[in-house]
Structure 1
Amino acid sequence: MKPKRPGREARENRHVKPATEIVVPSMVEEELMRIVAETPVPFLLVLDCVQDPHNLGAILRTADGAGVHAVIAPKDKQVAITETVRRISVGAADHVPFVQVTNLARTMERLKDAGVWFVGTSDRAEKSLYELDLKGPLALVMGAEEKGMRRLTEENCDFLARLPMAGQVECLNVSVSAGVCLYEAVRQRLPEA
C-alpha cells in the first residue's frame, strides 16, 4: 500500500453539506394542487421518467436556482430522492417540492384545469424554445434519457419546443436541456427595467 502524499486529498467542496440520515419523501398530488392554488403564477417542471440520479440531482439544483415551485414526476420508471440525488443537488432536494404521481397524464389534466400551460421539449418540434412565450402559469416538460417523453405525456402538452442544435450531436443531456429551458423561462419572466 502506497503512503499518501501530502496535498493529494480531495479538497472540501463548500457547496456540499455533510450527508444526513434524513430522507425527504416526495409530496402527493394534493399538496401539488395546494401549491398551485396558492401561487399567483406557478412555475413547474415535469420530468417524464428520468432515471439517472445524477441527472435528477443536477435538475433539482437548477430548478431551485430558477425558482421552480415544484418538480413533478411519475412514481414508476422514475428515480426518487436518493442519497446520491441529494448529494448531487447540493441541498436543493431538501428545498424544492418533489411530487411523484401515479398517473402523470391525469395530473397534467388537473393542472391544465387550474390554468397551467405545458411546454414540452421534443426534437420533432417545429418551433424553437426561443419563439415561445414562457410567461404566465407554466410547466416545462422534459423527457427521459434516450427516449424523450412518452406519447401520452407529449399529447398532453399545449406546445412543443426544440432546442436549436448547431453541431453534430442530435440532442443535449436532460439535465442540460432542463437548465437551458428553465433559464430561458426565467429570462422571459424577469420584470422589464
Structure 2
Amino acid sequence: MRRNERHEARANKHTAAVGDIHFYDEGDLGQLIEASPNPLVLILDCVQDPHNFGACLRTADAAGVSVVVVPKDKSSPVTDTVRRIACGGAENVPIARVTNLARAMDKLKELGVWLIGTADEAGKSLYEMDLKGPVGIVMGAEGEGMRRLTGERCDFLAQIPMSGKVPCLNVSVATGVCLFEVVRQRL
C-alpha cells in the first residue's frame, strides 16, 4: 500500500457507513419509548444541512438517544453524506420520520416524555433544567430555529448560556451541548 492509500484508509476508518438504516413512523413511537428504561429523545425541527444532520445523528448515538424524530418534509434525507458524517449513528439510532411533528410531539408527551425546546430568547438556562427523567430535546433548524407550533408544543424552553459575542451555536454543536448535559445529569 502506498503512502497516500494508507493515509486515505486511515482517514476513512471512522467515516464508513455500515449496515442498514431502519426508519420508523409516528405509530412506532410508543414501542420505541417503552423499550427504553429512561428515554432520551432528540427532535430535529427541519434540519436541512446533511452535515448538520449527520453530526446530530453521531452525537445522538454517542449520548444513547432512544429515537431521533424528524419531519418527513423540510428535513435532510439520510444521504451518503449524512451516513458518512454520522459514523454509524444513522444505522444505530432509530429515526422516526413523521408527517406531522406537532402531533408526534403530543404523542411523546402522552408517553410521559417532557419536551425541552432550545431557544436563544428563553429565560431559563439549560443547566437549570431537571433532565434526569424521560426527556426530549427539541432543536430548531439552521437560521430560523424552531417553528412556532413546535415551540408551542414544548413543555419548557431553555437557552444555552453564551459568554462570547457570537449570537448562537451551530445546530449540531448545540445538540451536543444539550444531549451531553442530559448525560451529565443522569450519571
TM-score range, shorter chain: over 0.9
Aligned-pair identity in percent equals 57
Q: Where does structure 2 lack aligned partners over 5 or more consecutive residues?
A: none
41, 47, 51: which one pairs with 2:48? 51
- Alpha-carbon offset, residue 30 of structure 1: 1.8
* Contact 1:118–1:157 (Cα < 8 Å) also in 2: yes
Partner of 1:114: 111
65, 83, 87: which one pairs with 1:86? 83
**TM-score, length of structure 2 as denominator length:** 0.92
For the pair 1:30 / 2:24, whether they are aligned, the reply is: no
* Contact 2:29–2:108 (Cα < 8 Å) also in 1: no
* Paired amino acid for 1:97: P
- Alpha-carbon offset, residue 121 of structure 1: 0.3
Tell me the secondary structure at the aligned position of residue 23 of structure 2.
coil
Q: Where does structure 1 lack aligned partners over 5 or more consecutive residues?
A: 1-5
* Paired amino acid for 1:88: I
* Contact 2:22–2:94 (Cα < 8 Å) also in 1: no
* Paired amino acid for 2:79: T
Which structure has the larger Rg? 1
* Contact 1:23–1:81 (Cα < 8 Å) also in 2: no
Q: CA RMSD in A?
A: 1.5
Tell me the secondary structure at the aligned position of residue 56 of structure 1.
helix
Partner of 2:170: 173
Instruction: Tell me the distance in 2 between the aligned counterparts of 1:153 and 1:162.
Output: 16
The structure richer in helix per residue is 2
**TM-score, length of structure 1 as denominator length:** 0.90
- Alpha-carbon offset, residue 37 of structure 1: 2.1
- Alpha-carbon offset, residue 26 of structure 1: 2.2
Write the deviation string for residues 111-141 of structure 1: whole angstroms up to 9, x where unpaired: 1111110000000100010010011010000
- Alpha-carbon offset, residue 186 of structure 1: 0.2
* Contact 2:45–2:140 (Cα < 8 Å) also in 1: yes
Partner of 2:149: 152
Instruction: Tell me the distance in 1 between the aligned counterparts of 2:78 and 2:29.
Output: 17
- Alpha-carbon offset, residue 56 of structure 1: 0.6
* Paired amino acid for 2:116: V
Instruction: Tell me the distance in 2 between the aligned counterparts of 1:7 and 1:36.
Output: 48
